[in-house]
Structure 1
Amino acid sequence: MLDPNQLRKDLPSVTQALAVRGIDFDVERFNQLEARRKSVQVETEALQARRNAISRLIGQLKSKGEDASEEMAESQQIPARLKELEQDLAAVQGELNDWLMTIPNLPHDSVPTGKDENDNVEQRRWLPPGMATDERGLPQPLAFSPRDHVAVGEPLGLDFETARKLAGARFMMLRGSLARLHRALTQFMLDLQTGEHGYTECYTPYIVNSATLFGTGQLPKFKDDMFWVTKGGEGSMPDEDQDSADDLYLISTSEITLAGSVRDTIVPLQDLPLRLTAHTPCFRSEAGSGGKDVRGMIRQHQFDKVEMVQVVHPDNSYQALEEMTGHAETVLQRLGLPYRVILLCGGDMGFGAAKTYDIEVWLPAQDTWREISSVSNCEAFQARRMQARYRPEKGKPEYLHTLNGSGLAVGRTLVAVLENYQQEDGSVVIPEVLRPYMGGAEAIRP
């Protein structure tokens, strides 16, 4: 959530920053709410001062033996009016907070202005040693006509038909060596992040309450993107206009649980930074995706991801952003997969992000780059919503900064391995780093 004090102190800079994201902040509405808040506070302070003055006056009159009935009558009316003002102030602040819950984070100064992915800025590329490029500067095409991951994967155990029978569209089932390769990727990613990058592995709930989702920013804006879990009934969903404390949701990423673990917490300064990682399934309704990426594993209702979260001192969050991006890149480098790093423009960033790098892997069958990781610094945006703070050496508790990133999306990594390591005979070479997890096998074959 945006800082209300920043809005009050420097509204022009906030509106200018939101314009980088393509957001036209309603200044008139904010000023009206502020005028109401100030009016209530001014009257409240005046009444409190009058109450104190009357109390002193009553004492003086009584000490002199004089009549204080008029003053006492006035003093008896003040508490009721103060109660009304307290309710009015709560209503104004509630309306402001509810509105600010729907406003995205302010972009960092280094974020380029832009509307969509066409305005993102490439930062760098990485190709495996010895890999040539074509005349466009893209990875050299395979020596044969590449097949997409569906054509490669189905003879190896990729099964959409059974998944469709079991659950419907946008689900998959894996069998045999392909299922083991999927598991190998997961174990490799976790071992790398915990063993070399200092993350603590966590096992988290797959179902969370609405308070957790409000804290990390999925609610209220992205309610339709979530799968809702109901207790009892005929499979109905929670009321669209309400959010009960009892509403439960399947997680769309373990960022929700990892970052949410510090909700309503004051973290000791000496415990920072917190580096957390988890492997979980992720569930997304893909509302609004329409016919995009219908074929294959790119856009599924259920997929696995190894997530990285850091909770850090505000002074260190941009250093942590570069570090985390490097942690995701290392996964791809060890797997020998070509990729590039993209700095997202304001209009293409996620709701809670102040700055985001996307990592895109090369898919030869599509002859293009596809997102495989997104690493974001949310600054204090989530922490303010979650009341997640740290205690400095002196002074009051202050808000933490939170960062999150994929390290990596397992299904999309499997897609990249299938397409980049496919052989003309239909087999797929197993990247060397995964072979210990595959019993030493060098390839999987139909």
Structure 2
Amino acid sequence: MLDIKWIRENADALDAALAKRGASPLARTLIDLDEKRRAVIQTAQDMQSRRNAASKEIGAAMAARNAELAEKLKAEVSAIKDQLPAAEEEERQVTAELNDALSRIPNIPLDDVPVGSDETGNVVKHAWGTKPGWNHKALEHYEIGEALGWMDFEAAAKIAGSRFTVLKGQLARLERAIGQFMIDTHTESHGYTEVHAPLLVRDDAMFGTGQLPKFAEDLFRTTDGRWLIPTAEVSLTNLVREEILDQEKLPLRFTALTPCFRSEAGSAGRDTRGMLRQHQFLKCELVSITDADSSIDELERMTACAEEVLKRLGLHYRVMTLCTGDMGFGARKTYDIEVWLPGQDTYREISSCSVCGDFQGRRMNARYRGKDDKATRFVHTLNGSGTAVGRALIAVMENYLNEDGSITVPDALLPYMGGLKKIEKAA
């Protein structure tokens, strides 16, 4: 969430940033709302001040035996007392209206983010590895999985409907191995602390990371009012909500391997075949909590950590700098890592790493204080996939496909496969 004080002082900068994101100007509307809020607050304060002054004047009038003036002042105090609740309620309503408007404004892109309206404006930052050179035909993951007998979409549909997958046997073990490999890599090689956190969260947690109120339709809600997390970013980032951290203990780096749940409300008709876009999927998430001076460097570090997973798996990928029109709501800058999928003959996103500045810190009221500082500052937050497990499974299946339809297990996963070196057809 943006600071209204900053908006008042940088109205043109806000509207210019919104224009880069393809949004309409809002600065004047927000400033007018803030002016209304200030006026209402001032009215309530003036009423309280006059009530207090009149109460003192009553005592003076009574001491001077001026009963007429004392009664007049008592009537004035009584009238103000009757009027104050309405003024205070108006203040609450206007403040809530302003906060709601502020909560729906996307973050301000960094100056070096390319300007564009959609994914066609994204820019290749760098690439790693090469596309596999084969003599046999490339296949999509669902063709491979169904032919092997270890991937069953019909069973999933009977149980839960569309956009779910049942994995069995060797493929189920391979997905588990990929997840374990990722979490071990980030904890043992990259210094992240593994966290087992709730998959069900309250409204405040969703608000803190920016999912609410704007993206409620993309989420699943339980009957008791909690939300299923769309990403472990929600749980991990909110670990510091309403805290004041010591700057010398930053950065904090958390990782979690969790199921994630998304309604995919805005993706009707997209990726309906296979397991590319699911309501339930497994993801290894990375979250960093930093001070203001370290967050940009932390984005480069986090992205490199996610890249290392793909390097160890031997998967060709490219890193894209997202343009302003394709960037997420809370991000100031984002790198998408896109893995090569031979079956689709294209690159697909497998990780998205973003720096959010103090956007989420402000929403969570999460702050830090330097050793010799009296004042506090809002923390900066970053999040990234390290990576999406299901999409990594797809990439391994398609890139390690053999001519006979089997899948070679990448070397990095062998310690997790119990001696299994090749995924073969079910007996």
Give the alignment's TM-score, normalised by structure 2: 0.93
Question: Which stretch shifts more, 159-168 or 74-83?
Answer: 74-83
Cα separation, 2, equivalents of 1:140 and 1:420: 7
Structure 2 counterpart of 1:99, which letter?
A: A
The one of 212, 221, 224 aligned to 2:214: 221
Does structure 1 residue 293 correspond to structure 2 residue 271? Answer: yes
CA contact (8 A) 2:11 2:28 kept: no
CA deviations on 1:373-398 (whole Å, 9 max, x unpaired) are 00011111112111122233322332
Runs of 4+ aligned structure 1 residues displaced above 4 Å come to: 51-68
Cα separation, 2, equivalents of 1:302 and 1:44: 50
CA contact (8 A) 1:141 1:364 kept: no
Does structure 1 residue 24 correspond to structure 2 residue 3? Answer: no
Once the two structures are TM-superposed, the CA of residue 305 in structure 1 deviates from its matched residue by 0.3
Structure 2 counterpart of 1:248, which letter?
A: R
CA contact (8 A) 1:267 1:391 kept: yes
In the other structure, the counterpart of 1:176 is: 169
CA contact (8 A) 1:251 1:283 kept: yes
Give the alignment's TM-score, normalised by structure 1: 0.89
SS in 2 for 1:257: helix
Question: Which stretch shifts more, 65-74 or 16-25?
Answer: 65-74
Once the two structures are TM-superposed, the CA of residue 57 in structure 1 deviates from its matched residue by 4.8
Cα separation, 1, equivalents of 2:51 and 2:375: 31
In the other structure, the counterpart of 2:419 is: 440
The one of 364, 377, 382 aligned to 1:386: 364
Question: Which stretch shifts more, 61-70 or 250-259?
Answer: 61-70
Question: Which stretch shifts more, 403-412 or 73-82?
Answer: 73-82
Cα separation, 2, equivalents of 1:263 and 1:386: 5
Once the two structures are TM-superposed, the CA of residue 42 in structure 1 deviates from its matched residue by 3.2
Does structure 1 residue 196 correspond to structure 2 residue 189? Answer: yes
Cα separation, 2, equivalents of 1:92 and 1:425: 67
Cα separation, 1, equivalents of 2:132 and 2:256: 35
CA contact (8 A) 2:341 2:399 kept: yes
In the other structure, the counterpart of 1:307 is: 285
Counting matched residue pairs gives 421
1:9-408 matches, cutoff 5 A: 9-51=9-51, 53-54=53-54, 57=57, 68-69=69-70, 70-127=72-129, 131=130, 139=131, 141-156=133-148, 157-230=150-223, 246-393=224-371, 394-408=373-387
Question: Which stretch shifts more, 29-38 or 172-181?
Answer: 29-38
Structure 1 counterpart of 2:33, which letter?
A: L
Cα separation, 2, equivalents of 1:55 and 1:248: 48
SS in 1 for 2:392: helix
Query: Can you give the 5+ residue segments of structure 2 that lack an aligned partner in the other structure?
Result: none
Cα separation, 2, equivalents of 1:210 and 1:42: 31
CA deviations on 1:221-241 (whole Å, 9 max, x unpaired) are 1111112211xxxxxxxxxxx
Once the two structures are TM-superposed, the CA of residue 58 in structure 1 deviates from its matched residue by 5.0
Once the two structures are TM-superposed, the CA of residue 2 in structure 1 deviates from its matched residue by 1.5
Once the two structures are TM-superposed, the CA of residue 126 in structure 1 deviates from its matched residue by 0.6
In the other structure, the counterpart of 1:241 is: none
Query: Can you give the 5+ residue segments of structure 1 that lack an aligned partner in the other structure?
Result: 132-138, 231-245
In the other structure, the counterpart of 1:239 is: none
Question: Which stretch shifts more, 364-373 or 396-405?
Answer: 396-405
Cα separation, 1, equivalents of 2:134 and 2:350: 21
CA deviations on 1:269-325 (whole Å, 9 max, x unpaired) are 333211111111111111121111111111111110000111111221111111100
Once the two structures are TM-superposed, the CA of residue 267 in structure 1 deviates from its matched residue by 2.4
Question: Which stretch shifts more, 264-273 or 54-63?
Answer: 54-63
Structure 2 counterpart of 1:313, which letter?
A: D
Q: CA RMSD in A?
A: 1.9
SS in 1 for 2:294: helix
CA contact (8 A) 1:363 1:420 kept: yes
Cα separation, 2, equivalents of 1:396 and 1:193: 34
Cα separation, 2, equivalents of 1:266 and 1:410: 34
Once the two structures are TM-superposed, the CA of residue 65 in structure 1 deviates from its matched residue by 5.6
CA contact (8 A) 1:189 1:331 kept: yes
The one of 378, 394, 399 aligned to 1:415: 394
Once the two structures are TM-superposed, the CA of residue 348 in structure 1 deviates from its matched residue by 0.6
Once the two structures are TM-superposed, the CA of residue 47 in structure 1 deviates from its matched residue by 3.6
CA deviations on 1:2-46 (whole Å, 9 max, x unpaired) are 212111222111111111111113344324312312322333344
In the other structure, the counterpart of 1:235 is: none
CA deviations on 1:238-269 (whole Å, 9 max, x unpaired) are xxxxxxxx411211111111112222222233
Cα separation, 2, equivalents of 1:294 and 1:411: 15
Once the two structures are TM-superposed, the CA of residue 412 in structure 1 deviates from its matched residue by 0.2
